[in-house]
Amino acid sequence: MPIDDDDLFIEDDSTDDPSQASNAPVRSWKIAIVDDDEDVHKTTCFALQYTQILNRPLEFIHTYSKEETRRVFANESDIAVILLDVVMETEQAGLELVSFIREELKWRDTRIILRTGQPGYAPEEEAIRNFDINDYKTKNELTRKKLLTSLTAAIRSYEQICTIDASRRGLHQIILSSASFTFDHGIQAFAAGVITQIAALCGVPPEGLLCAQGELNEGENGQQFNVIASAGHYSRLMNCTIDEIGDVNIQNALTHVLTHRESLFNEHNMTLYFSGRGNRPLAAYIDLPYALSEINHNLLEVFCSNLGVCLDNLSLVNQLKNHAYRDQLLKLPNRLKFIDHINDLIKAKRPQQMLALVDIDDFAEINDVLGHHYGDLLLKAVADRLRSDLGNDIFLARISGDVFGLLGHQAQLHPDHLKQLFSAPFIFDDTAHAVSTSTGMVELSGYETDGAEALKDASIALKRSKTYQRGSYTLFTRKMGLEIRERATLMQHLHAAFDAERLFLMYQPQIELSTQRFIGLEALIRWRTDDGQMIPPTDFIPLAEYSGLIVSLGAWVLRTACFLMVRLQKAGIAPERMAVNVSVVQFRQDDFVENVRKALADSGLRPENLELEITESVTMASASMFESRLHELKKMGINIAIDDFGTGFSSLSYLDKLPVDRLKIDRAFVQQIDTPEGPRIAELITQLGKKLGLSVIAEGIETQTHLDTLQAMGCHEGQGFLIGRPIPEDMLLEWIKARV
């Protein structure tokens, strides 16, 4: 196909002398010429020889058919422009190639200029749009000048597309890489990541090193810059100082960057500057196979400042670590660090190691009365004394507010020695301040693994000292631990049992002694564990009180008993009263009366059919609150009995004022009837009840003698195994029928 050669040799400004090109590896634009006409290849090449476009030479790839092109392109990349013949082995060969390039190779940046001999073979406009064809030329139009114009336009547009793409990818990479920096492995791992990420960002191999001043996080002594990360053939320079690097250019570049605080870009390398606020600077030297474009410079700037933020975070993390392990007021290791140290000692299996917790007695009061400033001064003084007297062999930490932890050989941590430490008063503000301390100790030899466990045990011992005798010391014993742990396990199980409805009620009948009439029931709680074991309420009620579970537990007992009572009433076999035990803890709750009212309302039980049993010790403890609350209950019409009467310390005059219906003689006094003591106390209580106009009921009646004796002395009512054991609801019906 003839080409109009007239214009072919017109000089063009963009033609540069290739000899002027530098020695740097030259990057060229790849231009593919796809045409089945050999002449077209020749003339195109000839027309474009020595031509540079946008400062780069052209490199040609020649193919002659659709099939060949598919093969060649499969192993190619970065082709800037394709000059593509439309008609080759078939009329559609060129267009089919376009679809191959865009859809299969997914080359979206590559610009395509279609060429055809005959204008009649112009592709549909739609094809041009769909396949992103840049230009459409008849071969006649491909004079040198026109060729150059279209190629320049195509290459410029190719470069722009690549740039946009690169910066999009670059930004993505920066975001990814920033996120991938973790601080877990410290500054070195971080630095190694920096080199990798820069290389990935610029699409160059990771050849480089990273310098930082001294240690980044600790000490002021490191004035020298060291290589803290290195990759590629710089690996051997790890940990060298700048002076030891051995390459003057690199040394100079790093020194320049670190002193002038700016990045340096050269054709074959770059040296980047990273500043973190409050941090010592970092510099990275990276080899470049070719000069980087403007866009890469911009991206690197973003990267460097982003990394500056990362560095700040790194130093923050270090500060946090410092905070996490050091007490800021006293500049002592804190609880966490203390536990670490216990663990170390346990692991090292050093003999006769002791852990002591020293607590300043009444520190809270000192703080309240004399102020926090004084409190802080005192803490510092105590810390100083411990430090100076015990020396560096003892590990000293602040465990919490006014509790110090000591670790070391037991000879040095002798309790007498510790006590003597505080015998002299502390003097500050020209005044002497006496301080007493309580101490809890534990020997580390018994621990296999857990430092936290040892600390907990020492706290248990300390608590004992504080509760039983301030200013004393307690050595933790196995027994102490077992007791507490058993309680803790039992408590957990109790909570679970309540949730799983493993708790249930039994009911014990009460009768009128003179007539044997069935007059009441006492609801008694039971706990059967999953393996069938019965745990007595005397074991778990104190736990439930201690943990507060008694509040919901008690409410449940009350409601369950009320509802049963109503069922018995509906069956026509109910006695006069249902008695329910109430714990002090429960009674103290602000909404206790309200809860009782609600249980009655919800079940429909009348208040005169309910009796609350409250122990004697409780009634005397918090008198005024107790009194008004009792009056409230009494006003509602509820019966009140004082349980375990005789075991507490009732003031008789006080008892007179309380709105109580019944005294309940404790089982112990009924049992006494069989002993030399005899029925004395039971009789006394009965007399007392009569004087106060109260009914008296005896519990724990096991024998006919008990019953006869009590009846003879005028005790009104009774309950006990002789009359009936506590039984579950389903056996109650039978018991009542048999009775009647």
Contacts with ligand C2E, residue ranges (CB under 6 A): 508, 523-525, 536-538, 541, 554, 557, 581-583, 613, 643-644, 667, 699-702, 720-721, 726
Smaller CB separation from Ca ion, 193 or 520: 520
110 binds, among Ca ion, ligand C2E, none (CB under 5 to 8 A by kind): none
- Selected from 643, 646, 707, 724, the binder of Ca ion by CB under 5 A is 643
81 binds, among Ca ion, ligand C2E, none (CB under 5 to 8 A by kind): none
Type of residue found at 189: A
Type of residue found at 708: D
User: At its nearest, how many Å lie between Ca ion and the CB of residue 607?
Assistant: 19
User: At its nearest, how many Å lie between Ca ion and the CB of residue 579?
Assistant: 7
702 binds, among Ca ion, ligand C2E, none (CB under 5 to 8 A by kind): ligand C2E
User: At its nearest, how many Å lie between Ca ion and the CB of residue 507?
Assistant: 12
User: At its nearest, how many Å lie between ligand C2E and the CB of residue 671?
Assistant: 8
User: At its nearest, how many Å lie between Ca ion and the CB of residue 615?
Assistant: 8
Smaller CB separation from ligand C2E, 152 or 671: 671
User: At its nearest, how many Å lie between Ca ion and the CB of residue 537?
Assistant: 10
Q: What is the CA radius of gyration of the chain?
A: 47
The continuous run of DSSP H or E covering 524 comes out as strand 518-528
Smaller CB separation from ligand C2E, 215 or 702: 702
Structure tokens at 363: 């520190």
Produce one character per residue of 170-179: b if its CB has 16 or more CB atoms within 10 Å, e if not: beebbeebee
> Which letter does DSSP use for residue 103 in this model?
I
User: At its nearest, how many Å lie between ligand C2E and the CB of residue 342?
Assistant: 41
Segments in 415-572 forming alpha helices (H): 415-421, 451-468, 478-499, 537-547, 549-570
In angstroms, the first-to-last Cα distance of the chain is: 128
689 binds, among ligand C2E, Ca ion, none (CB under 5 to 8 A by kind): none
Smaller CB separation from ligand C2E, 455 or 541: 541
596 binds, among Ca ion, ligand C2E, none (CB under 5 to 8 A by kind): none
Angstrom distance (rounded) from CA 216 to CA 188: 10
User: At its nearest, how many Å lie between ligand C2E and the CB of residue 694?
Assistant: 18
428 binds, among ligand C2E, Ca ion, none (CB under 5 to 8 A by kind): none
User: At its nearest, how many Å lie between Ca ion and the CB of residue 641?
Assistant: 8
The phi, psi pair for 14, rounded to 5°, reads -80, -5
Smaller CB separation from Ca ion, 405 or 520: 520
> Which letter does DSSP use for residue 680 in this model?
H
Collapse the DSSP code of 608 into the 3-class scheme (helix H, G, I; strand E, B; otherwise coil) and give the result: helix
Angstrom distance (rounded) from CA 725 to CA 740: 17
Tell which residue, 444, 546, 467, 544, has the closest CA to residue 503. Answer: 544
159 binds, among ligand C2E, Ca ion, none (CB under 5 to 8 A by kind): none
Tokens 């606020």 correspond to what residue?
277
412 sits in the region (left: phi over 0; alpha: psi -120 to 50; else beta) called alpha
User: At its nearest, how many Å lie between Ca ion and the CB of residue 614?
Assistant: 9
Smaller CB separation from ligand C2E, 136 or 527: 527
Segments in 611-703 forming alpha helices (H): 616-621, 623-636, 652-657, 667-671, 680-692
The residue range among 55-63, 113-121, 236-244, 644-652 that interacts with Ca ion, by the rule CB under 5 A, is: 644-652
170 binds, among Ca ion, ligand C2E, none (CB under 5 to 8 A by kind): none
User: At its nearest, how many Å lie between ligand C2E and the CB of residue 596?
Assistant: 14
Smaller CB separation from ligand C2E, 321 or 528: 528
User: At its nearest, how many Å lie between ligand C2E and the CB of residue 526?
Assistant: 7
- Measured from the Cβ of residue 672, the count of other Cβ atoms closer than 10 Å reads 16
Smaller CB separation from ligand C2E, 357 or 665: 665
Smaller CB separation from ligand C2E, 358 or 665: 665
Residues in region 135-154 near Ca ion by CB under 5 A: none
Collapse the DSSP code of 605 into the 3-class scheme (helix H, G, I; strand E, B; otherwise coil) and give the result: coil
User: At its nearest, how many Å lie between ligand C2E and the CB of residue 538?
Assistant: 5
User: At its nearest, how many Å lie between ligand C2E and the CB of residue 724?
Assistant: 9
Angstrom distance (rounded) from CA 209 to CA 194: 9
Segments in 261-293 forming alpha helices (H): none
585 binds, among Ca ion, ligand C2E, none (CB under 5 to 8 A by kind): none
Instruction: Mark residues 662-681: x for contact with Ca ion by CB under 5 A, - for none.
Output: ----x---------------
Residue nearest to ligand C2E (CB): 720
Q: What string of DSSP letters covers 47-70?
A: HHTTBEETTEEEEEEEE-SHHHHH
Tokens 């960002």 correspond to what residue?
201
Smaller CB separation from ligand C2E, 279 or 615: 615
The phi, psi pair for 233, rounded to 5°, reads -80, 5
| Count of positions on this chain that bind Ca ion (CB under 5 A) | 5
Tell which residue, 444, 435, 451, has the closest CA to residue 413. Answer: 444
Smaller CB separation from Ca ion, 270 or 642: 642
Angstrom distance (rounded) from CA 159 to CA 111: 10
User: At its nearest, how many Å lie between ligand C2E and the CB of residue 559?
Assistant: 12
Structure tokens at 461: 């011992």
Angstrom distance (rounded) from CA 595 to CA 33: 94
Tell which residue, 35, 9, 17, 245, has the closest CA to residue 147. Answer: 9
Write out the E strands in 348-456: 353-360, 395-400, 403-409, 426-428, 431-433, 437-443
Smaller CB separation from Ca ion, 27 or 667: 667
Smaller CB separation from ligand C2E, 307 or 525: 525
Structure tokens at 188: 């070195």
520 binds, among Ca ion, ligand C2E, none (CB under 5 to 8 A by kind): none
Smaller CB separation from ligand C2E, 419 or 598: 598
Smaller CB separation from Ca ion, 524 or 731: 524
Tell which residue, 154, 144, 40, has the closest CA to residue 88. Answer: 40
User: At its nearest, how many Å lie between ligand C2E and the CB of residue 584?
Assistant: 9
636 binds, among ligand C2E, Ca ion, none (CB under 5 to 8 A by kind): none
618 binds, among ligand C2E, Ca ion, none (CB under 5 to 8 A by kind): none
536 binds, among Ca ion, ligand C2E, none (CB under 5 to 8 A by kind): ligand C2E
Type of residue found at 272: L
User: At its nearest, how many Å lie between ligand C2E and the CB of residue 363?
Assistant: 37
506 - beta bridge partners? 524
Collapse the DSSP code of 684 into the 3-class scheme (helix H, G, I; strand E, B; otherwise coil) and give the result: helix
- Selected from 327, 644, 683, 717, the binder of Ca ion by CB under 5 A is 644
Structure tokens at 168: 């999009």
Residues in region 568-627 near Ca ion by CB under 5 A: 581, 613
Smaller CB separation from Ca ion, 184 or 649: 649
Angstrom distance (rounded) from CA 684 to CA 714: 11
Collapse the DSSP code of 86 into the 3-class scheme (helix H, G, I; strand E, B; otherwise coil) and give the result: coil
The residue range among 128-136, 186-194, 623-631, 640-648 that interacts with Ca ion, by the rule CB under 5 A, is: 640-648
Tell which residue, 510, 504, 632, 659, has the closest CA to residue 577. Answer: 510
508 binds, among ligand C2E, Ca ion, none (CB under 5 to 8 A by kind): ligand C2E
721 binds, among Ca ion, ligand C2E, none (CB under 5 to 8 A by kind): ligand C2E
Smaller CB separation from ligand C2E, 207 or 643: 643
- Cβ(614)–Cβ(641) below 8 Å: yes
* Interface residue list for Ca ion (CB under 5 A): 581, 613, 643-644, 666
